[in-house]
A and B are shown apart, each in its own frame.
Chain A
Amino acid sequence: MIEVRALTKHYGTTVAVDDLSFQVPAGRVTGFLGPNGAGKTTTMRLILGLDAPTSGSVTVNGEPYRQQRFPIHEVGALLEAQALHPGRSAVNHLWSLAQSNRIGRRRVDEVLGMVGLSDVATRRAGPFSLGMKQRLGIAGALLGDPQILLFDEPVSGLDPEGIVWIRDLFHRLAREGRTVFVSSHVMSEMALTAQHLIVIGRGKLIADDSIEHITAGAGSSVRVRSPRHDDLMGLLTAEGATVRSEGGALTVIGVDSAHIGDLAARHGIALHELSPQRASLEEAFFELTDESVEYHGADLTHAGATTDTRR
């Protein structure tokens, strides 16, 4: 169980995390979602005691992380896959980690086998591909057989094969009853792995809910095609619907497809397409975080302001 209470972190004048409170209960996969620069990495660093909060507190199993002895028996984390000495072999990297927490040598070979790196165990980790480094990092996170696992953007930069592998791993860890807390800026990835989502933007909590609730809350629309495009648009607008014209099709919000069909029939307008659009998780995410992204693609004048809240 991770408990974040009124957590705030400033770096100079930048507010990376702003009065954030949430809990990650035991035994499920919780997605931690937000646009780049929303404060996800900072929050994870605060959970792990790497950074000290400006105010507020965070505990893991009821205790601040920095007070835990041999913590990797309870919490395994992968923040950056590249965080290893390039000249040290995979097995020595893990062995040094294991020794610091009084974990035996057998377990090192075991986790290397679990992530499929046994064959390259004695090779220097520097030239490993990102996918292999990611696996090595995951092996490190699994070393202490922890009940709580934290992964920061684990799929970014991975090839499709690696993504499938990681997805399966999360499922397996969840099946084993572990708490998995995974951050991502890609909503669709979360839909496949998480049961619960914590969404943040600009360091603030936006949503803390199940995936079903979050998608259901987002608005749905109807896609319409008709040869009498403009006439239909006028009629729908008169009915109080919001209508957008995109590439010869209309996107209608505010009235359902039955209503649109009836309206068109009454006025003798032929319809070539009438399809209800269910908001995807991705759209739900955009809707939730729209106001919180630090800059939009078009707004190049502010693009220079860094969204990376770490330093």
Chain B
Amino acid sequence: MTTASPTTAPTIQPDDAVTHVPRPRGRVLPAVIRSEWTKIRSVRSTVWSLFATFGITVGLGALFCFAYVRRYDHLNIRQRLTFDPTVQSLRGLFLAQIAIGVLGVLVISSEYATGLIRTTLTAVPQRRTLLAAKAVVFGAVALVVSMISVFVAFFVGQAVLHGKHLGVALGDPHVLRAVLGAGVYLTIVGLLGLALGAIVRRTAGAIATLFAVVLVLPLLTRALPSPWDTDIGKFLPAELGAAMFNVRPDSSLLSPGTALVVALVWLVVSFSVAAVLITRRDA
């Protein structure tokens, strides 16, 4: 307001001592990233969902390992030989991906549900920048929590398995890659939730879509006649995840590297659709 030319009459000073807020320069994205960080850490549902992700990954993983140890003496040789201790300690992922996926959905769908999105877009009309900032902030949070969860789950699970001398170490072949892959997979499911939240906009609808893609589609493809069941199935997120955190080679899955690339393609496609829709649609 004080940028008016000096010849104009001075603007009337407000009754309150209002500090002049200078019109800023600089880039929009870093500012929006800081704003989104404040948003994500200032609601309880974030903390709950992240805690649930951690608790489910570690708790269920430990439980599965414990159950296996209890059953071990009754298993036949074949069952014992195909046992994968790493995967066993990461079985909690099956449920944990729902917790983190729901949080991803909520990062944007809660804004549509409350109408906050209209306040947000009034402050940040650059909609793709807003979507990018949400992805960066949530992606970083999800990656950190996912990695902590899978590593803790791995170590706890191996400690339990150690009772029967079944545990493996991070240094064993493919194990570190598998644990890292599990953390990456969890993060990807969370981001997929965010993209679906932006596309569907309604919380319930977006969560249902995420469940359908992650949990239901693999079951449906399994019903297809061979070899279509695995040829199609291995490109679905859940099977891509299995490929990333499997230690034993499995011919029905893609290689870990290929699986990661395909999973990233899923993200690129879903975020591209979200970016187009968020720009085109009325808020």
B32 engages A50 (CB within 8 Å): no
Q: Is the CB of A106 within 8 A of B14?
A: no
Q: How far is the CB of A85 from chain B (nearest CB, A)?
A: 6
Q: List the one stretch of A92-100, A216-224, A267-275 in contact with chain B.
A: A92-100
Answer whether residue B251 sits at the interface, using C-beta atoms and an 8 A cutoff. no
Beta-carbon contact of B118 and A79 below 8 Å: yes
CA distance A103 to B34 in the complex (A): 11
- Choose the segment among A68-76, A188-196, A228-236, A241-249 that binds chain B (4+ C-beta atoms closer than 8 Å): A68-76
Let me know if B5 is at the binding interface, CB within 8 A. no
Interface size class of B (residues with CB under 8 A): 35 or more
Structural contact, A84 and B116, CB atoms closer than 8 A: yes
Distance in angstroms between the alpha carbons of A175 and B16 in the assembled complex: 12
Taking a contact as CB atoms closer than 8 A, the residue among A92, A101, A145 that contacts B31 in the complex is A101
Nearest residue (CB) in B for A46 is B282
Query: Is the beta-carbon distance between B38 and A107 smaller than 8 angstroms?
Result: no
Q: Complex formed: what's the CA distance from A68 to B42 in Å?
A: 27
Q: Within 8 Å CB of A85, what residues of B?
A: 39, 43, 110-111, 114, 116
CB distance from B124 to the nearest CB of A (A): 5
Give residues 7-56 of B contacting A (CB, 8 Å).
Answer: 11-16, 18-21, 23-24, 26, 28, 31-32, 34-36, 38-39, 42-45
Nearest CB on A from B258, distance (A): 39
A89 contacts which chain B residues (CB < 8 A)?
42
A82 at the interface (CB under 8 A from B): yes
Of chain B, the residue at the smallest CB distance from A172 is B15
B14 touches A100 (CB 8 A): no
Query: Are B116's CB and A172's CB within 8 A?
Result: no
Residues from chain B with a CB closer than 8 A to the CB of A83 are: 114-119
> What is the 8 Å Cβ interface bit string for chain A, positions 88-121, against chain B (1 contact, 0 not)?
1100100111111111101100100110000000
Residues of A55-79 whose CB lies within 8 A of B: 65-75, 77, 79
Asked whether, in the complex, the Cβ of B21 is within 8 Å of the Cβ of A107, the reply is yes
A83 to B11, CA, bound (A): 32
Bound Cα distance from A50 to B280, whole angstroms: 10
Give the residues in chain B near A87, CB-CB below 8 Å.
Answer: 43-45
| Residues of the B chain whose Cβ atoms lie less than 8 Å from the Cβ of A52 | 280, 282
The verdict on B123 contacting chain A, using a C-beta distance below 8 Å, is: yes
Complex CA–CA separation, A100 to B34 (angstroms): 7
Tell me if B223 counts as interface (CB < 8 A to partner A): no
The answer to whether A100 touches B123, judged by C-beta atoms less than 8 angstroms apart, is: yes
Give chain B residues whose Cβ lies under 8 Å from the Cβ of A88. 39, 42-43
Would you call A72 and B31 a contact (CB within 8 A)?
no
Q: How far is the CA of A92 from the CA of B281 in the complex (A)?
A: 28
Inter-chain contact A66/B125, CB cutoff 8 Å: yes
Q: B residues within 8 A CB of A72?
A: 122-123
Q: B16 contacts which of A80, A98, A114, A140 (Cβ < 8 Å)?
A: A114
Residues of chain A within 8 A (CB-CB) of B120 are 97, 100
Cβ of A144 under 8 Å from chain B: yes
By the criterion CB–CB under 8 Å, are B115 and A82 in contact?
yes
A71 touches B122 (CB 8 A): yes
Do B42 and A92 touch (CB < 8 A)?
yes
Cβ distance A213 to chain B, nearest Cβ, rounded Å: 26
Known A-B contacts A87-B43, A144-B21, A147-B1; A51 and B119 likewise in contact (beta carbons under 8 Å): no
Question: Given A87-B44, A97-B123, A107-B19, do A73 and B24 touch, yes or no (CB 8 Å)?
Answer: yes
Complex CA gap A152/B124 in Å reads: 19
Q: Given the interface contacts A51-B283, A88-B39, A100-B31, does A77 sit within 8 Å of B114 by beta carbon? A: no
Contact A49–B125 (Cβ < 8 Å): yes
Report the separation of the CA atoms of residues A77 and B125 in the bound assembly, to the nearest whole angstrom: 13
Given contacts A49-B121, A96-B39, A107-B19, contact A175 B12 (CB under 8 A): yes
- Known A50-B282, A71-B125, A177-B12; judge A96-B42 contact (CB<8 A): yes
Chain A nearest CB from B79 CB (Å) reads 47
B210, chain A: closest CB distance, angstroms: 21
Residues of B within 8 A of A175 (CB): 12
Q: Does A290 contact B (CB under 8 A)?
A: no
CB pair B114 A86 closer than 8 Å: yes
From B32, B44, B124, name the one whose CB has the most chain A CB atoms within 10 angstroms: B124
Given A106-B19, A172-B15, A175-B12, A70 and B115 touching (CB < 8 A)? no
List of A residues within 8 angstroms of B124 by Cβ: 100-101
B135 to chain A, nearest CB (A): 16
| B119/A140 in contact, CB under 8 A | yes
Question: Given A73-B21, A99-B38, A176-B11, do A50 and B283 touch, yes or no (CB 8 Å)?
Answer: yes
The reply to whether B21 and A69 contact each other, CB–CB distance below 8 Å, is: no
- Report Cα–Cα, A73/B26, bound state, in Å: 14
Q: Contact between B118 and A50 (Cβ–Cβ < 8 Å)?
A: yes
Which residues of B from 120 to 145 have beta carbons under 8 Å from A? 120-126
CB distance from B206 to the nearest CB of A (A): 17
In the complex, what residues of B have CB within 8 A of residue A71's CB?
Answer: 122-123, 125
A-B pairs with beta carbons under 8 Å apart, 7 shown? A77-B122, A82-B115, A83-B118, A85-B111, A88-B42, A97-B123, A110-B19
A contact residues vs B (CB 8 Å cutoff): 45, 48-52, 65-75, 77, 79-80, 82-89, 92, 95-104, 106-107, 110, 113-114, 137, 140, 143-145, 147, 172, 175-177
Please list the 3 inter-chain residue pairs (A to B) with the smallest Cβ-Cβ separation, ordered nearest first.
A83-B115, A100-B35, A102-B24
Contacts A69-B28, A87-B45, A97-B123 given; 8 further ones with Cβ under 8 A?
A: A48-B118, A48-B122, A70-B31, A92-B38, A97-B120, A100-B123, A110-B19, A176-B12
